[in-house]
Structure 1
């Protein structure tokens, strides 16, 4: 009995691994390349915006640059502190930080495993979330500061080897160590879902255009999300079993936005009242985006 169950689980695990492993490897290769060779250029482009008078258009550019930044939130906040000191406005910073929380080049590659439509929706919804956050800060905090970066210095740069090839290999090794366990856990959980969770249950919970399914997906994203690569196998399986694209988009917004390490970092620079406002914004945006996507697709 146990041997048969193991064979079933191994089959589901191996099929899922075969389907998604290439995306994980490619994501690490490209993600590390961006981190080593392009990160400073991306951040310098953003910093240079401080001297330009481009108004609201700066929010759009900031959101796009945030998605290209390879840093995690604990790395983004010290960088954002330096941006603030160099004259970058809070609304631009909000757009950059919001989209940076939700997406990065490596996660874009991972998400390609979900199909072109889901990938495009993820990119667009994250981009618009950053823009929305920036616009809200521009409207409601035009004359007062929203962030408190007191005490933050530049983050430590680990990519300092003179040999550029060695620098890249070390970054790739850190990347594998950071994402590998979550990736494997995600595939194991996906295999368990395939074996033991009826497909009809997933359709009932997350399928169709019902607001309940989108709200459930947004809520489930809060406790389940630990690493972007780890959730891709789960999302792939849920989509196969009837999860609507709107529900998937909602999950992909609340998940990274409420990841515990991101919340811990944000609470430091926002304070309790603005931190709670941030949580309300994320849930409201995720729900609204999911509803619109299901109506359109």
Structure 2
């Protein structure tokens, strides 16, 4: 039975549900199951129909194979794109910005733990986290909590957890969360140790003349947004992540059509001693957006990439983006940039080699459908 037939059967099943379209129940305050089912299944039906068209009309061609992979991946992931954008918009409004500011300014050792957790629940990406960290540091506070927040924030957030769960399953989503916590703590306490011996004390402060956002340095950066802005934020996040997911799905479809599984297993598979370093190196050109890279990694795992190599890619990718490296170097100087890259890359190599996931266990595609 094709996936298109499965979707047809599920739509028919919802429409025959006791509360579905054929139900005599007429409670106007109860959501009709048929309406919900059509909302959820109609896009999937159309996408699988397009995939079947490519399979029937373009058999044995690269164009047909790319089309099949593209439409099937989109059918499985579109719901998670919307769910992740909703999580990001809600997190941006629910994040206690005043508490974030207080935690980053605390001098107690426990502030490192609090800053790490806030980095995970914050929807701020690297480019948004850098001005926040720079503004707080410029006011003269100690660096460890700020560094814990700065290192953990790009590795995990509510939207990224949703995308990872929907694409690769709860195991990878949990692993990414644990690695983000560990790297944030290492960054915070490591910075504390380095400052104690005078290695970072003179270079940790931002340079406002080289980064205009820091020079503005007011409390407005942490202002709590109004709830009336929630729809606009959701629309903005959805448009942003949809663009990168589309690019990622297209690259994944091209990879599935043009790369052989033997090549992927040779470079990134369990039999390669260089699979984790190779995955770290791939993070430089391929990692553009946390959500957009997930379809690529999903296809690579199905073709033989080890989950450990995938985890290493997810850790090293945010650290080696050219814009991230350039911005961190401009704001905080080369010494902190080297510290940032060292923690991220060593963390990627370590976790990629010890990630406790059987190499021969097939990846479960966690589609909502």
Q: Distance in 2 between matches of 1:46 and 1:161?
A: 14
Q: What is aligned with 1:124?
A: 178
Deviation at 1:214, TM superposition (A): 0.4
SS in 2 for 1:248: helix
Closer, same or farther in 2 for the Cα pair 1:274/1:211, shift >3 Å? farther
Determine if contact 1:202/1:241 at 8 Å carries over to the other structure.
Answer: yes
Q: For this pair of structures, how many residues does the alignment match?
A: 291
Looking at structure 2, the residues matched to 209 and 139 of structure 1 have their Cα atoms a distance apart, in angstroms, of: 38
Q: CA deviation at 1:161?
A: 8.0
Aligned to 2:36: none
Query: 2:307 touches 2:357 (CA, 8 Å); kept in 1?
Result: no
More helix by share: 1
Decide whether the 8 Å contact of 1:209 with 1:244 is kept in 2: no
Distance 1:105 1:27 in 2: 7
Corresponding residue for 1:28?
Answer: 85
Partners of 1:100 and 1:45 in 2: CA distance: 16
Please give the root-mean-square deviation of Cα atoms over the aligned residues, in Å: 2.6
Gaps of 5+ in 1: none
Residue 284 of structure 1 aligns with which residue? 346
Structure 2 match to 1:60: 113
The correspondence for 1:178, drawn from 205, 220, 240, is 240
Match of 2:315 in 1: 253
Distance 1:157 1:134 in 2: 22
Q: Which residue of 2 aligns with 1:201?
A: 263
CA shift at 1:159, angstroms? 9.1
In the alignment, the residues of structure 2 paired with residue 21 and residue 243 of structure 1 have an alpha-carbon distance, to the nearest angstrom, of 24
CA contact (8 A) 1:225 1:231 kept: yes
2 CA distance for matches of 1:264 and 1:175?
24
What is the Cα deviation at residue 211 of structure 1?
3.8
Structure-1 separation of matches of 2:298 and 2:68: 16
- Single out whichever of 24-33 and 87-96 deviates more from structure 2: 87-96
Does the Cα contact within 8 Å between 1:209 and 1:294 map onto a contact in 2? Answer: no
2:74 aligned with 1:12: no
- Report Cα offsets for 1:243-280 as digits up to 9, x if no partner: 11110110001111122222222112321233234323
3-state secondary structure, aligned to 2:249 = helix
1:137 and 2:198 equivalent?
A: no
Deviations 1:145-171 (A, max 9, x none): 452224212487699986x34x11111
Indicate if the aligned counterparts of 2:120 and 2:153 stay in contact, CA closer than 8 A.
yes
Which structure's CA Rg is the greater one?
2
- 1:230 alignment partner, SS class: coil
Deviation at 1:288, TM superposition (A): 1.3
Q: 2:303 aligns with which of 215, 237, 241?
A: 241
Name the counterpart of 1:48. Answer: 102
Q: Which residue of 1 aligns with 2:133?
A: 80
1:115 counterpart residue number: 169
In the alignment, is the contact (CA less than 8 A) between 1:49 and 1:58 conserved in 2?
Answer: yes
What is the rounded CA distance, in whole Å, between the counterparts of 1:295 and 1:190 in structure 2?
23
- Return the offset for 1:230: 1.0
Structure 1 counterpart of 2:94, from 38, 44, 49:
38
Q: Distance in 2 between matches of 1:71 and 1:132?
A: 20
1: CA distance, partners of 2:145 / 2:76:
38
Is 1:223 matched up with 2:285?
yes
**Contact 1:73–1:265, Cα closer than 8 Å, also in 2:** no
Output the CA distance in 2 between the equivalents of 1:131 and 1:289: 15
| Contact in 1 for aligned 2:152/2:181 (Cα 8 Å) | yes
Per-residue displacement from partner, 1:35-82 (whole Å, max 9, x unpaired)? Answer: 1x223x1x3223223675632x32222111111111222221221133
* Higher mean C-alpha deviation, range 267-276 or range 120-129: 267-276
Unaligned ranges ≥5, structure 2? 1-56, 209-213, 360-369
Higher relative contact order (CA 8 A, sep 6+): 1
